[in-house]
Structure 1
C-alpha cells in the first residue's frame, strides 16, 4: 500500500498542492488527469522520490518498488546496444547467482544434519527465490518480447543506442521499466512516442500487469482501456473517481453543474447582501444589521469557477473549393542511403477526404505526408496537386523554426496580419495561452508550448488541404476537443498522422495504412481499421495453426512418462523455495486475523471506552495490526501469483 498523507508543495509561496491525500493499493489501474499546469508530472516525481514536498508524508511497505517513466530526458549508455541497455536492468542478478554458487560450495563441507547446513540451505533457497522472482530465468525471452512489442525488430537489438531518435530512446526506457516489473509503475505520457501497433501491445501488457499502474495521458481511449480509477488534480486538490476516464468525465460534468448552480446562488446572495449594506450603511437604526452582513460577507467561503472550464471554440474560415482531385502521387520512389522507403507508390486524394495515416514507426508515414506537402524531394515519379489546392502543413519540428525574439501574440499576428485581435486571442486560448501568456517571448517557452504555438499559427493560414504530423502530442483534453470540433466542421480535406484513436474516430472517413513496401486504404474510421486488422491477424494465426497441426509428431509412451517426470521435478524445484516462504506468511496472517477479531470484540464491549489508557493502547495496536496485515497480504499475493504462474507453466 502506498499512502500520501496531507501532501503540500509550494512554489514561490503559491500552493501547487494543498494537503492532498490518497491511498494506492497493489494492482490498481489509475489515471491521473487535470489541465496542463495542474501538477500531474510533479506528483509522479514526488511519488518516485525525485522531488521533495513542502509538508506531509509518503509511506509504503519496505518491499515496495517504484518505477517512473518521465515524458522526456532519458539518457541511455551510448556505448551499449539496445539489447545490452535492456539487460542492464538485471545487472544485480549476476551477483546473486555468484552468491548462490558460493553457498552451494559451502554445503559440500558441512554435515547434512548440522544447524549450519540448514541455515545455508535456507540462504540458498532465499537467494534462488529472489532470482526466480526477478524473472532472470526468462530474461532473454522477456527482453525480446518487450522490444518486439514496442516496435523494435531483431536487427535493432544489436544496434548502438546512439543510432536511435529521442522517441525510440523513450521506448527503450519504457521497455526497461516493464522488464523490472516494479510494484508501482508511474508512466508520464507513455503513448506519445508509440505507433498504433505498439499502443495496442502496451494496452494488453498493462491490462495483465501485476503491479499498480498510475498513468498520465491525454489519450482518452488509452485511459478508458486500462484504468479503473481516476485521480483528478484541480485547484491544488486531488479528487477521487471510482471509474475510468469516461466515468470521470460524466461525474466531473455533474460536479461542474452543481458548482455552477451553487456559484450563481452565492452570487445572488452576495448581491442582495451588498445591496442591503449600500442602502442602509448610513442608517443608525440599521447599523447592527449592516455590520452583521459585512461580517457575513467577510467570512463567506467564496465559490470560484475555473476560467479554463468555460466553453472555448474556434472555426476554420470557409476554404476556397478545390478541384475533385486534391493530390495525385504516381510511381513515386523515395530512398535514404540504402533504405528504399517507397517504390512505385501511387496514391490519390479526393476532395472531402479526411484521412488518418497509421502504421508502424519507421514505415514512412511522415516521409509520405512530407512528400504530399511538397517539402520532401522525390527521387522518381510525379506529385500533382489538384486545381486550386492550397496546402497548410504542421509537424513537431516547426516549433524550432519560430522566431525566438517575437512574443506569442506577434507570432500569431505575423501569420494573420488582417485578423482581429479577439480572434487571435481566442485561438491562442484554445491552445493554453491565456492572459499575459500571449506577451511571453518565444525564447522562454518550453518545447510543448512552442509546438502548441506552431500549431495555432498554422491554423491561421487559410487552406483547403491540411496536413498534420502528430498534432495532439502536447495538447490537453480540452485543447484536443476544441481542435477536434473545428476539424469536424472543416469543409476542406485533411491528412493526419496520429495514433490517438479517440481524437481521430469522429473526424476521419479513411485510413491509410503505411507499412514497409506497401500501403492499404480502409474506408472507415480508426475503430473500423483496427477491427479489420484483428480479423487479418486472426486469419494469419489460424493459417499458422493449421500448418503446425499438419506436422504431427508422436512420442513413445516411455518418452512421454520420462518428460512428465522431468516436468514434475522441475515444477517441484521451482515451487519449493516459494512454498517455504508462503507457509510462515499464512501462519502469521492466521494469528493476526485472530488477534484482530479479539480486538474488535473487545472494542464492541460497552465499557471498553471507560478506560482511556486502554483505548489508546488497543487503538494503536489495532491500527498497526491492520497495516501489517495489508503488507503481509501483499507479500502473500505476490508469492501466490508467482506459484500460480509456475502451476500454469507446467499444467
Structure 2
C-alpha cells in the first residue's frame, strides 16, 4: 500500500530548480535512504513532505490519517525533564490521558480502549529505552533539558521523533550530533522500525545497514534503486558504463554518416543517398553522455620518518584545573599506528586528543614526544577560529609565512579548494568546504601524527571516500574520533576504549564493541533469565579471548601485502636498464640483498598467519 506519493513535484528556490517533475512512491513500512550532492535539494524535499514548504508544481499525497514525525530544527529547552519532553512527542497519548480525567463513563471506556491499543502504559519505558540508546542514563533523563548543551538537546529532539512511532519518519542527517555508540544504536533501531522512513545521510554504514532502497536526487529528478548504498553504487556504475558506451556508439555512427554527407552532398550522382543519410542522422537517438563531476581527492603530504615511539604517556592524569577527567593513562604511539577512540561523548576522548596535540598540559605523569614530532590536529570547534571575512589563501599564507604563493595554493588544492574557492571568504564557504580548509591547515607541516576529531560531520559521501583513501595512503600515525563506524572499520587497526576515567586497549573489533553495547543496554535480567544472561556473557568473553589472535592474523596479512608491494617496486627497479650503468653496483647489491630479506620476512609472516588462522578455525571462528 502506498503511504506517500510524490508526483511531478517542482520546487524552485533562489532562481534554481531543485525538483523538476520528480516522482517517488514510498510504501508503508519501507525504509529509504535519500542521497545526492550537497545543494541538490534533499533537505528541501523533506520540508515539502512535512508540509513546511509549498510546491511550485505537482503534488505530494499522503495516505489518509498517516502520521509524520520529523526532528525539529530548534533544540528543545525549558524546565521539563528529558523523559517528559520525549513523552510529549505522542500528542494522542497526552490528549487521551487528559480526557480520561473528565470523560463520562461511556466515553471513558472508549478512551481506555484506545490507550490500551497504543500501549500507553509502556510509553515511559519506551521513551527511557530510546533516550538510553542515544546516550542518556537514568539520572540524565530526570534532569531539565535546559541543563544540556545544544548538541545533547538535539539528541532529545531526535529521541522525540523516534518515540512518536509515526507511519512515516523523516530524518535529515540524524547522526550529526551523535557519537559512535549512539550511531550504532540508531542503525539497529532503524533496521527494526516497523514504519516507513526517508533518511538523508552521508553515513555509508547507516545507508547500508538500515535502509532497503536508495532514492537518488540528481538534476531535479528522483530515481529509486533497491538495496543499500553499496548496491546503489554498483548499479549506478553499471548504468553509467552502459550509457557511455551507447553514447560512444551513436557518436561514431553520427561521425560516419556525417562524413558521407560532407563528401557527397553536392554530387548529383550521390544527392539522393546524401539526403537519405541526413534523414538517418536526424533519426539517431540523442543519448546524453554521462559526465561525472571531477572526482573528489584529498592528498596528505608525506611526513619524514622518526624513531619510535613518536609519543608516549606514562601514568598521566588529564583534565582542566582541579578537575581530572582521565587518570593513570599509559600508552605509546608509533608512525604505523591507526587508532580509533571508543567511548560515549563526555568520557574524555576529545580531552585526550587535546593532550596528544599539545593543546593541553598534563596534570600529572610524563609525556614524551619525539624531538622532531609534528602533530596535525583537526577538530570541528576550530571552525569558530576561522576569520569569516578572510579566504582560504589568507589563512594558509598566515599558517605558512615563509611559503611562496604557488605553494600555498598547491596545498589548498590537495583538498579540493580550487582557485575560485580558495579566494572565497570563509563566511560564504559551505560546511564541507570549511572542513577541507581545516584539514589543509592541520596537515600543512607534513605531520607524523594526525589527530582527527569528528572530521566527517560536514563532508558528503564522495568527500568521505576521498578522506578514507587519503588516510590509507598517509605514511604517518592516525588517531581518530568519529561517529562513523564505516570510517573506523576502514582505517583503524587498533581500538582504545575511553571509559571509567581512563584509557585502555579494547580487545576486539567493532563488531565485538557493538555486541558489548547491546549487552550493556539490556535491562537487568530477572532470576528466570539468569542462564541466558550467563550464556551471552560466556559467548562475549569467548569472542574477546580470540580478539588478540584475530589481530595477529590481520597484522600478518598486512605485513605480507606490504612486503609484496615493496618486492614489486624493487623488481621494477632492477628491471630498468638504467640501474646497470657504471657506478651503480652498490645500489644493485643493496636491492638484491633487500629482495632476499623480503623473501625471509614474507615466509615468516605467512607462517605466522597460517598458525593464527588454524587456531581461529579450531575455535570455530
Bin the TM-score by the shorter chain: 0.7 to 0.9
Aligned match of 1:68: 70
Deviation (angstroms), 1:368: 0.4
Structure 2: how far apart are the matches of 1:508 and 1:470? 14
Q: Which moved more, 1:393-402 or 1:416-425?
A: 416-425
Deviation (angstroms), 1:406: 2.5
Aligned match of 1:534: 515
Q: Which moved more, 1:291-300 or 1:322-331?
A: 291-300
Q: Which moved more, 1:443-452 or 1:386-395?
A: 443-452
Aligned match of 1:588: none
Kindly indicate whether the alpha-carbon contact (under 8 Å) linking 2:297 and 2:463 is maintained by their aligned counterparts in 1: no
Match of 1:370 among 323, 336, 354: 354
Structure 1: how far apart are the matches of 2:438 and 2:259? 49
Aligned match of 2:541: none
Q: Secondary structure at the match of 2:88?
A: helix
Kindly indicate whether the alpha-carbon contact (under 8 Å) linking 1:281 and 1:287 is maintained by their aligned counterparts in 2: yes
Summarize the Cα distance change of 1:375–1:225 in structure 2 as closer, same or farther, 3 Å threshold: same
Summarize the Cα distance change of 1:290–1:321 in structure 2 as closer, same or farther, 3 Å threshold: farther
Aligned match of 1:170: 154
Kindly indicate whether the alpha-carbon contact (under 8 Å) linking 1:82 and 1:172 is maintained by their aligned counterparts in 2: yes
Kindly indicate whether the alpha-carbon contact (under 8 Å) linking 1:74 and 1:169 is maintained by their aligned counterparts in 2: no
Deviation (angstroms), 1:64: 0.6
Kindly indicate whether the alpha-carbon contact (under 8 Å) linking 1:45 and 1:51 is maintained by their aligned counterparts in 2: yes
Aligned match of 2:602: none
Kindly indicate whether the alpha-carbon contact (under 8 Å) linking 2:10 and 2:17 is maintained by their aligned counterparts in 1: yes
TM normalised by structure 1 equals: 0.73
Structure 1: how far apart are the matches of 2:380 and 2:332? 25
Structure 1: how far apart are the matches of 2:324 and 2:394? 42
Kindly indicate whether the alpha-carbon contact (under 8 Å) linking 2:83 and 2:124 is maintained by their aligned counterparts in 1: no
Match of 2:453 among 445, 463, 469: 469
Structure 2: how far apart are the matches of 1:195 and 1:134? 31
For structure 2, list consecutive stretches of 5 or more residues without a partner in the other structure: 532-621
Confirm or deny that 1:506 pairs with 2:490: yes
Structure 2: how far apart are the matches of 1:446 and 1:316? 21
Aligned match of 2:60: 58
Show the 5 A alignment for 1:259-298: 259-269=243-253, 271-272=255-256, 289=274, 293=278
Residues 44-75 of structure 1 deviation map (CA, whole Å, 9 limit, x = unaligned): 111111222110111112211111126xx423
Deviation (angstroms), 1:444: 1.8
Aligned match of 2:414: 427
Structure 2: how far apart are the matches of 1:4 and 1:521? 50
Deviation (angstroms), 1:500: 1.4
Aligned match of 1:82: 82
Aligned match of 1:581: none
Structure 2: how far apart are the matches of 1:229 and 1:387? 52
Structure 1: how far apart are the matches of 2:419 and 2:62? 41
Kindly indicate whether the alpha-carbon contact (under 8 Å) linking 1:29 and 1:214 is maintained by their aligned counterparts in 2: yes
Confirm or deny that 1:442 pairs with 2:433: no
Deviation (angstroms), 1:492: 0.9
Aligned match of 1:192: 176
Deviation (angstroms), 1:434: 5.9
Structure 1: how far apart are the matches of 2:341 and 2:174? 20
Aligned match of 2:443: 459
Aligned match of 1:100: 100
Summarize the Cα distance change of 1:408–1:126 in structure 2 as closer, same or farther, 3 Å threshold: farther
Structure 2: how far apart are the matches of 1:356 and 1:99? 52
Aligned match of 2:290: 305
Q: Answer with 1 or 2: which has the greater Rg.
A: 1
Match of 1:226 among 210, 235, 240: 210
Structure 2: how far apart are the matches of 1:13 and 1:280? 47
Structure 1: how far apart are the matches of 2:261 and 2:385? 58
Kindly indicate whether the alpha-carbon contact (under 8 Å) linking 2:82 and 2:141 is maintained by their aligned counterparts in 1: yes
Structure 2: how far apart are the matches of 1:92 and 1:508? 46
Confirm or deny that 1:151 pairs with 2:135: yes
Kindly indicate whether the alpha-carbon contact (under 8 Å) linking 2:342 and 2:497 is maintained by their aligned counterparts in 1: yes
Kindly indicate whether the alpha-carbon contact (under 8 Å) linking 1:331 and 1:381 is maintained by their aligned counterparts in 2: yes
Match of 2:229 among 245, 268, 274: 245
Aligned match of 2:601: none
Q: Secondary structure at the match of 1:534?
A: helix
Structure 2: how far apart are the matches of 1:294 and 1:12? 42
Deviation (angstroms), 1:286: 8.0
Summarize the Cα distance change of 1:420–1:303 in structure 2 as closer, same or farther, 3 Å threshold: farther
Structure 2: how far apart are the matches of 1:276 and 1:439? 50
Aligned match of 2:44: 42
Structure 1: how far apart are the matches of 2:442 and 2:391? 16
Structure 1: how far apart are the matches of 2:180 and 2:503? 15
Kindly indicate whether the alpha-carbon contact (under 8 Å) linking 2:184 and 2:485 is maintained by their aligned counterparts in 1: no
Show the 5 A alignment for 1:617-628: none
Kindly indicate whether the alpha-carbon contact (under 8 Å) linking 2:391 and 2:422 is maintained by their aligned counterparts in 1: yes
Structure 1: how far apart are the matches of 2:63 and 2:180? 37
- How many residues get paired? 525
Kindly indicate whether the alpha-carbon contact (under 8 Å) linking 1:356 and 1:504 is maintained by their aligned counterparts in 2: yes
Match of 1:391 among 344, 362, 375: 375
Summarize the Cα distance change of 1:269–1:134 in structure 2 as closer, same or farther, 3 Å threshold: same
Kindly indicate whether the alpha-carbon contact (under 8 Å) linking 2:214 and 2:227 is maintained by their aligned counterparts in 1: yes
Structure 1: how far apart are the matches of 2:111 and 2:368? 67
Structure 2: how far apart are the matches of 1:441 and 1:399? 13
Kindly indicate whether the alpha-carbon contact (under 8 Å) linking 1:228 and 1:244 is maintained by their aligned counterparts in 2: yes
For structure 1, list consecutive stretches of 5 or more residues without a partner in the other structure: 108-120, 551-651
Aligned match of 1:182: 166
Deviation (angstroms), 1:13: 4.2
Deviation (angstroms), 1:410: 4.5
Q: Secondary structure at the match of 2:330?
A: strand
Kindly indicate whether the alpha-carbon contact (under 8 Å) linking 2:378 and 2:452 is maintained by their aligned counterparts in 1: yes
Q: Secondary structure at the match of 2:459?
A: coil
Summarize the Cα distance change of 1:452–1:426 in structure 2 as closer, same or farther, 3 Å threshold: closer
Structure 2: how far apart are the matches of 1:389 and 1:22? 54
TM normalised by structure 2 equals: 0.76
Kindly indicate whether the alpha-carbon contact (under 8 Å) linking 1:100 and 1:124 is maintained by their aligned counterparts in 2: yes
Residues 286-341 of structure 1 deviation map (CA, whole Å, 9 limit, x = unaligned): 88958985995799635143432x44434333210022111112222234477531
Aligned CA-pair RMSD: 3.3
Summarize the Cα distance change of 1:312–1:145 in structure 2 as closer, same or farther, 3 Å threshold: closer
Q: Secondary structure at the match of 1:370?
A: helix
Aligned match of 1:641: none
